[in-house]
Structure 1
Amino acid sequence: MRPVEARDADAVLGVVRAAFGAHDPDGGVKVADLWGDVRASDHLLAERVAVLDGQVVGHVGVSRCWIDARRELVEACMLSPLSTAPAHERRGIGTALVAAAVEAARELGCPAIFLEGSPDFYGRRGFEPAATYGFEAPSVRVPAPAFQLVLLSEVPDWLSGRVVYPDVWWRHDSTGLRDPDLAEVEKALGTG
């Protein structure tokens, strides 16, 4: 794992497209376009890549979000997207990238790193349901079990509330899921 370098830009977007293309009808373009816009904003905090034989085979992004606590707005981090080139899946690359993202967020001084994703996959990598600590998802379209976090420091008792994503996530309609996908995920999680 290493930080992204300027020469990696196209390779990263290619890995993101390939990773999400297997699951999205748009071929991963939506997520790649979102990440391109995050990169162009002041919301990008960290990026890490996995490189094998000189080729980028995995990527993880860490960007800014906020906790809208009653006392004050607190900056935090979110992990998204996590991408592994399909030909390199199930080799521990995603796990290593998640660990690299958590470490990057810790180095940035964030109190927590949030994400939307599989409770099974991310739970085995140290993530817990955010609701356990009084944090609310940014949208009702995020199933509670899928909204997760890793606490990175001692959290004061007043620090809880809704997590707020930057506008770029909303412009790309990339917060939570929409039906019919949302209904399918809720059914699989037993929450629908």
Structure 2
Amino acid sequence: MQIRREEPGDHEAVLEINRRAFGDHGAVVAALVDGLRRDDPEALSLVAVDDDRVTGHVMCTRSLLDAPPRLVDVQVLSPLAVLPGHQRQGIGSALVRAAIEAVAARGAPLLFLEGDPAYYSRLGFTPGDGHGFRKPSLRIPDAAFQVVRLPAYEPWMTGTLVYSATFWEYDCVGLR
């Protein structure tokens, strides 16, 4: 398996992975991916490739932390998707690790997500509220609001995560 940046020829495969991985909610998540691409030209989009077939995808996009002194550019990891027949083989974990490394290399101080704490805690994510962060919506379960602090993080960086408008446009915030 190889992890690499998404290329233009991967676009349809990435949308199909998200449609299939998210079941009934898949069409909305695929539309979110297109919306995030449109609204954040600097988005990080990585794919997992196995035998020339794209089997997984992760995306990290710009959001803001409303910290007391000023707004801070941060990143949000969403979505993470692996084809159903390829799940539980380490593809998702490899994608998340590569995303963390790439976001850190870009100089982002924080990477947030909504997700299963049992899964993401293995990859270095911890509950956001334990570090002075507030979730952007009450629809997000406390345990699902998670963060990894990166080398550019400074202790004054606390406050409320403000999702980009795209997440709200597609109603992809919290439980539905």
Tell me whether the two structures share a fold, i.e. TM-score over 0.5. yes
What is the Cα deviation at residue 175 of structure 1? 0.8
Checking the alignment, whether the CA contact within 8 Å between 1:43 and 1:64 is kept in structure 2 is no
> Could you tell me which of 34, 37, 53 is aligned with 2:35?
37
For residues 123 and 32 of structure 1, what CA distance do their matches in structure 2 show? 26
Which residue of the partner structure matches residue 171 of structure 2?
173
Checking the alignment, whether the CA contact within 8 Å between 2:17 and 2:83 is kept in structure 1 is yes
Checking the alignment, whether the CA contact within 8 Å between 2:104 and 2:152 is kept in structure 1 is no
Which residue of the partner structure matches residue 51 of structure 2?
53
For residues 50 and 41 of structure 2, what CA distance do their matches in structure 1 show? 28
Which residue of the partner structure matches residue 6 of structure 1?
8
> Could you tell me which of 107, 110, 115 is aligned with 2:108?
110
Structure 1: segments with no counterpart, 5+ residues: 179-192
What is the Cα deviation at residue 53 of structure 1? 0.9
For residues 148 and 117 of structure 1, what CA distance do their matches in structure 2 show? 7
Q: TM-score, normalised to structure 1's length?
A: 0.87
Q: Percent identity, aligned pairs only?
A: 45
Residue 15, structure 1, aligned to residue 17, structure 2: yes
Which residue of the partner structure matches residue 158 of structure 1?
156
Q: Which amino acid aligns with 1:147?
A: F
What is the Cα deviation at residue 32 of structure 1? 0.5
For residues 155 and 42 of structure 2, what CA distance do their matches in structure 1 show? 28
Checking the alignment, whether the CA contact within 8 Å between 1:43 and 1:166 is kept in structure 2 is no
The one-character-per-residue Cα deviations of 1:46-79 (angstroms, maximum 9, x if unpaired) are: 0110001111000000001110001000000010
Q: Tell me, what secondary structure is at the counterpart of 2:64? A: strand
Checking the alignment, whether the CA contact within 8 Å between 2:15 and 2:30 is kept in structure 1 is yes
Checking the alignment, whether the CA contact within 8 Å between 2:108 and 2:152 is kept in structure 1 is no
Structure 2: segments with no counterpart, 5+ residues: none
Which residue of the partner structure matches residue 189 of structure 1?
none
Moved over 3 A (4+): none
RMSD: 1.1
For residues 9 and 147 of structure 1, what CA distance do their matches in structure 2 show? 28
The one-character-per-residue Cα deviations of 1:87-108 (angstroms, maximum 9, x if unpaired) are: 1011100010010110111011
Checking the alignment, whether the CA contact within 8 Å between 1:44 and 1:62 is kept in structure 2 is no
Q: Tell me, what secondary structure is at the counterpart of 1:40? A: helix
Q: Which amino acid aligns with 1:112?
A: L
Which residue of the partner structure matches residue 78 of structure 1?
76
For residues 62 and 155 of structure 1, what CA distance do their matches in structure 2 show? 17
Which residue of the partner structure matches residue 147 of structure 1?
145
Which residue of the partner structure matches residue 61 of structure 2?
63
Q: Which amino acid aligns with 1:8?
A: D
